[in-house]
Structure 1
Amino acid sequence: MIKITDKSACCGCSACASICAHKAITMKPDGMGFLYPEVDESKCVDCGLCNQVCAFNSTYDKSQNLASPDVYAVRHKDMDEIETSRSGAVFIALSDWILEQGGIVYGAGYEGHFSVVHKRAVSKEERNEFKGSKYVQSDLKDTFLQVKKDLKQGYKVMFSGTPCQTSGLLSYLRTLKQDISQLYVVDLVCHGVPAPYVWRDYLGYVEKKYHAKITSANFRDKSQIGWTAHKESFNLGNKYVCTSTYTDLFYKHIMFRHSCGVCPFTNLKRPSDLTIADFWGWEKVDESINRDDKGVSLLFVNTEKGRGLFSEIESHVNYWRTDTIHCMQPNLEYPSAISSLREEFERYFISRGFVYCGKKYGNMGLKYQLLGMLRRMKHKILG
């Protein structure tokens, strides 16, 4: 029977809940909205599968990995796809091929009022909801069960998610001895996953501040401020608003899941066939790649199966072969360091709400504005 005594030991991938044939495990949110397994002991038969399937550790399966990944800078040949994607739209090229084979794509989309969940797409129109980064942990719901069902029915399947999610899915399917020859798994270089309830309450704050309902949300809107900038943006009816409070809290590592601070996947032995990310350092490869500041994707090909998929999309993308020296990012070497104020933030968030925390720890309110004014005055005096 799985028991979470140390929150940093659980990434919330849902593999344990998915594999329980007796439905004794449900994923329950904590005060920040992070999901953890809860066992109904009256249903549990102590089979041990829930502990066996857990792949959030350094011993995750690396048996299919190449000695070192093939590394590429990639841009889609269709500029419309680049314009509407987070980086160079390599995800679109990959998922297009899967869909064109009659396959199914899984990725992070929205449910309800911009709650981030994993969804199933059977068309390009449905898949387009997965475009763009989503800086909040997604709720996987019964996605692992759906993937298993699709594979059993003979579909090609592409699953994209954080490396802890992809590792969990693969462990779940391998534990059940499911044939995964038709499964293509894509992870992303993850900085850490923020709390779902913080995102939810921030949306409420923005709507209250501007007296309007949010009709669209973008965690990083490169259409207005360029690819390298990082600010969230919203459409509220006819009003466009660009803010940075959520992003500010994100980079303070103060609202990440505890497990992000001990993530075992922050290395070059990825638990997926392919890895995608923004390519920071692209200019060291070729200064012409991204002169328009529209974005370029980093792609790691980690397995022979990944090589096969990449070969299918080569004609739809421009790509440059490179190496890890030109693309290393902190989260390819070590986990993000969780803020020492993380526990305090959670206590205040639960007891006093988002606005209080935004003012105390973020860039909201008079205190932050006065500090900014003082910094500008100091800079001006010092010349």
Structure 2
Amino acid sequence: MIQITNKADCCGCTACASVCAHHAINMEPDALGFLYPKVDEKKCIDCGLCEKVCAFNSNYDRSLNLPSPKIYAARHKDIHEVETSRSGAAFIAISDYILEQGGVVYGAGYTDHFRVVHKRATTKNERNDFKGSKYVQSDLRGIFTLVKEDLRQGLTVLFSGTPCQTAGLTSYIGKRLRENLILVDIVCHGVPSPNIWKDYLTYLEKKYKQKIIKVDFRDKSRIGWNGHIESFVFENKMKKESTIYTYLFYSHIMLRPSCSKCYYTNYNRPSDFTLADYWGWEKLSSEFNKDNKGCSLLFINTKKGEICFEDIKRNLNIIASNKSICCQHNLKQPSIFCNKSQDFYKDYQYKGFNYILKRYGNVGFRFFLRKLKNRIYKILKI
């Protein structure tokens, strides 16, 4: 039976819980809201399937991969799709193709009060909930079994997620049903805590005494695609911008422990397509993204991806690229964690969100002192 003794050994993909025919495994949250498998030993027959299906290791399936990915800069030809997507709306082109074939699309959307979960979409309107970055680990409970059932019904399925999620799904689905499954992963920086996100929304609603009705983790409407500012719209139509959550995200202090040893930070991706922001697009063309609306980095990793791309590319403006131009940090190695991550976890668990916000965030007197200390250090170093 699967036993997680080191949290860094589990990415929370739910493959182990999904494969258990005896329902002996539940995915339960820790203090930060990250899900981990817990085995009910009374139900477990010790068959070993849960351990066998785990793909969070260096031996994840790459059997369908091309010798090297085909790499493009990509932007949707419909500017509205670009403006309402995180980067260049390449995902919209791929998912439109699947939906137009009568298929279904799975991606990260919202439920309840902006809780991030994976959802199933059969229309473009439902799919639009998957637009935009969501800097929170999504809840996948129950999704893998839905995907398998769709594939058994003969449907074409597009599943988008982090590479650990797509690798886990591939392992769970098996090769027999893989033919009608299209996988899209992202170049992932690391997945932040669901509970920190939940508490952050509560903090903002208390601060402004209004309920939030719309969120944008990375609003590009005012300063463009290459900025990173969160925005929130409240019930009274007031819109507020912030960098509080962004600051914690880039501090690498609230990411899932497994992100520190990610096995997928390379060009051997576990999916048919890989998407990311294309930082450095200027090396290809000074005109391609001159309006600063967004540009996608697109990898085609498999023959199946190549076949799909032949139909998809009619809706995209593309420029061929290569590894030397498009290389990003998380294609070379995992994000390096802050050395205070363990302290952060304990402080949040026992002292709560407001405490960690002042101690580790970019608000309050502690943050002012840290900035002052860094500035003095830089002056003395000069």
- Smaller-chain TM-score range? over 0.9
Q: CA deviation at 1:47?
A: 0.7
Quote the residue 1:136 is aligned against: 136
- How does 1:96-111 map onto structure 2 within 5 Å? 96-111=96-111
Quote the residue 1:363 is aligned against: 362
1:108 is matched by which residue type in structure 2? A
Question: Quick one: distance in 2 between partners of 1:103 and 1:367?
Answer: 52
Q: CA deviation at 1:374?
A: 8.1
Question: Quick one: distance in 2 between partners of 1:11 and 1:375?
Answer: 34
1:308 is matched by which residue type in structure 2? I
1:128 is matched by which residue type in structure 2? N
- Match of 1:292, SS? coil
- Match of 1:164, SS? helix
Structure 2 length-normalised TM: 0.97
Unaligned runs of 5+ in 2: none
2:2 is matched by which residue type in structure 1? I
- How does 1:224-373 map onto structure 2 within 5 Å? 224-237=222-235, 238-369=237-368, 372=371
1:301 is matched by which residue type in structure 2? I
Question: Quick one: distance in 2 between partners of 1:359 and 1:167?
Answer: 37
Task: Indicate conservation of the 8 Å contact 2:360/2:367, yes or no.
Answer: no
Quote the residue 1:52 is aligned against: 52
Question: Quick one: distance in 2 between partners of 1:362 and 1:182?
Answer: 45
Q: CA deviation at 1:253?
A: 0.4
Q: CA deviation at 1:224?
A: 2.0
Question: Quick one: distance in 2 between partners of 1:335 and 1:344?
Answer: 21
Q: CA deviation at 1:324?
A: 1.0
Question: Quick one: distance in 2 between partners of 1:178 and 1:295?
Answer: 38
Q: Summarize deviations over 1:314-359 as a string: whole Å, max 9, x none.
A: 1111000110111100100101111111110010001111111011
Task: Indicate conservation of the 8 Å contact 2:74/2:295, yes or no.
Answer: yes
- How does 1:82-231 map onto structure 2 within 5 Å? 82-174=82-174, 178-231=176-229
Structure 1 length-normalised TM: 0.96
Question: Quick one: distance in 2 between partners of 1:225 and 1:118?
Answer: 29
1:188 is matched by which residue type in structure 2? I
- Match of 2:221, SS? helix
Question: Quick one: distance in 1 between partners of 2:362 and 2:103?
Answer: 44
1:198 is matched by which residue type in structure 2? I
Inter-CA distance 96–371: structure 2 relative to 1 (3 Å threshold): same
Question: Quick one: distance in 2 between partners of 1:23 and 1:126?
Answer: 30
Task: Indicate conservation of the 8 Å contact 1:133/1:219, yes or no.
Answer: yes
- Match of 1:193, SS? coil
Q: CA deviation at 1:372?
A: 4.9
- How does 1:1-16 map onto structure 2 within 5 Å? 1-16=1-16
Question: Quick one: distance in 2 between partners of 1:265 and 1:378?
Answer: 37
- How does 1:65-84 map onto structure 2 within 5 Å? 65-84=65-84
1:47 is matched by which residue type in structure 2? C
1:248 is matched by which residue type in structure 2? Y
- Match of 1:181, SS? helix
Question: Quick one: distance in 2 between partners of 1:371 and 1:7?
Answer: 30
Q: CA deviation at 1:369?
A: 4.0
Task: Indicate conservation of the 8 Å contact 2:265/2:331, yes or no.
Answer: yes
Quote the residue 2:41 is aligned against: 41
Task: Indicate conservation of the 8 Å contact 1:281/1:326, yes or no.
Answer: yes
Unaligned runs of 5+ in 1: none
- Match of 2:145, SS? helix
Q: Summarize deviations over 1:6-59 as a string: whole Å, max 9, x none.
A: 110000000000000000000000000000000000000111100000000001
Inter-CA distance 208–290: structure 2 relative to 1 (3 Å threshold): same
Q: CA deviation at 1:378?
A: 10
Inter-CA distance 327–113: structure 2 relative to 1 (3 Å threshold): same
Question: Quick one: distance in 2 between partners of 1:106 and 1:345?
Answer: 33
1:62 is matched by which residue type in structure 2? R
> Percent identity of the aligned residues?
57
1:334 is matched by which residue type in structure 2? Q
Question: Quick one: distance in 1 between partners of 2:53 and 2:271?
Answer: 17
